[in-house]
Structure 1
Amino acid sequence: MAFSADELRVLRRALATALNPAPLQDDDVQDCLRLADSVDEAVREAGRLRAFLLADLVRYRQALPGSLTGYLELLRDALSAGYDPGADDLAALRALRGNPAAAALLARCQVLAERSVRARLARVAQAGAPQPAPVGRLAPARQLRQARTRLLALPGGRAAEDGPKPPAPGGPAKPGPKPPVPGERPVPKPSEVFPPRRRPVPQPPPEERAAG
């Protein structure tokens, strides 16, 4: 990417302002915005050119061996733009290794392809490696529950002293009388709710009552 003289002056002022913050005039702000738009457009154009180049490379590769010269030129341009040669490129160059230019380009592509594979494997290994827990981070809730369960399961301690006593030999112990609660009415006894019925007193016969 090449900058004109005016764009370089704008870029220099923007860098100076970034290092030493200071208020900018309106003209300087507009120049920086125009420069940013130009850079964005250049990046988009580079992406479009790269897409066209790769499409032409595929067409020339499919037309081999008649398109040998054009294919080698396009492949060199693609490699200079950061293109990683694929399996199709390596297979095509191996078939053309009798050409000195194709053999030299094959050696270059093999080095680049091996480097790309190693970098990809390194990224995969780094992504799959377990990450150490940062210092001071709380343990997962599952581990806390397991630790708490183990602590509660230890024999003895206050849980054993304060817990219920084992039943005495010969059967379970009967519960004792419930202590009265202040302000609570006592539960009436059955004899108070249903008093016993008195038996009727036998009356003497009518003759005895008349004689008396």
Structure 2
Amino acid sequence: MAFGADELRVLRRALATVLHPMPLPDEDVQDCLRLAGAVDEAVGEAGRMRAFLLADLARYRGALPGSAAGYLELLQDALVGGYDPVPDDLAALRALRHRPVAAALLERCRTATERSVRSRLAGRAVPAPAPRGRLLALPGGRAADGEPERPKTPAAPPGPAVPPERPAPKPSEVFPPRRRPVPPVGRRVAG
């Protein structure tokens, strides 16, 4: 997720307030609330995009072998986003392994599946993106001036921790632009 210059200024002011609590002007409180809403919207959109990608992947897998090129491209995109291949993916790739791209993806999926199974057998949970609770306003705003505090929305319980050694991918890495198939070059014959 990338922030613009105005959003970074709001974020910087909010972080400074957390480190050195002081009353915030109403405008700063509203800016923080707008930024929190924008971040929540971006996270929700990323979830919708992932669900769409996985539904598209299942649809292409169901239309094999005619949809092999689209399926292989979608599977690559899903794997970049952290998708764990299912047995149907492995079976489809085995049927398509005569294609070099499918053979490479089959090896990649086997490795990912093996790692996932070993993690589960070892009693560790496989790292997955944790659901994030809603962002709330920071303390030290209008309530610090003696004005009534706004009602707080209960935060969602925290999910499993994501290991620190793997940074969160950018949306452009999770959902790269789709490439359109190039039509074959050749003469057309009217029939």
Please give the range of the TM-score, normalised by the shorter of the 2 chains: 0.5 to 0.7
Percent pairwise identity: 76
Alignment correspondent of 2:37: 37
Alignment correspondent of 2:106: 106
- Report the alpha carbon displacement of residue 2 of structure 1 after superposing the two structures with TM: 2.0
**SS of equivalent to 1:90:** helix
Query: What is the alpha-carbon root mean square deviation over aligned residues?
Result: 1.6
Alignment correspondent of 2:55: 55
- Report the alpha carbon displacement of residue 95 of structure 1 after superposing the two structures with TM: 1.2
Alignment correspondent of 2:70: 70
Superimposed CA distance per residue, residues 162-191 of structure 1 (whole angstroms, 9 cap, x where no aligned partner): xxxxxxxxxxxxxxxxxxxxxxxxxxxxxx
- Report the alpha carbon displacement of residue 6 of structure 1 after superposing the two structures with TM: 1.0
The structure that is helix-richer by fraction is 1
- Report the alpha carbon displacement of residue 123 of structure 1 after superposing the two structures with TM: 3.1
Superimposed CA distance per residue, residues 128-165 of structure 1 (whole angstroms, 9 cap, x where no aligned partner): xxxxxxxxxxxxxxxxxxxxxxxxxxxxxxxxxxxxxx
Residues 1:8 and 2:21 are matched in the alignment: no
Alignment correspondent of 1:17: 17
Superimposed CA distance per residue, residues 48-75 of structure 1 (whole angstroms, 9 cap, x where no aligned partner): 1111111110110111111111001111
- Gaps (5+ residues) in structure 1? 126-212
1:78-157 correspondence runs (5 A): 78-123=78-123
The one-letter amino acid paired with 2:5 is A
Instruction: Give the distance between the partners of 2:123 and 2:25, measured in 1 at CA.
Output: 46
- Report the alpha carbon displacement of residue 124 of structure 1 after superposing the two structures with TM: 6.6
**SS of equivalent to 1:23:** coil
Q: How many residues align?
A: 125
TM-score, structure 2 as length reference: 0.61
Instruction: Give the distance between the partners of 2:57 and 2:78, measured in 1 at CA.
Output: 8
Select the structure with the greater relative contact order (CA < 8 A; seq sep ≥ 6): 2
Moved over 3 A (4+): none
- Report the alpha carbon displacement of residue 16 of structure 1 after superposing the two structures with TM: 2.1
**SS of equivalent to 2:2:** coil
- Gaps (5+ residues) in structure 2? 126-191
Superimposed CA distance per residue, residues 106-145 of structure 1 (whole angstroms, 9 cap, x where no aligned partner): 11111111121122223379xxxxxxxxxxxxxxxxxxxx
**SS of equivalent to 1:16:** helix
Structure showing greater Rg: 1
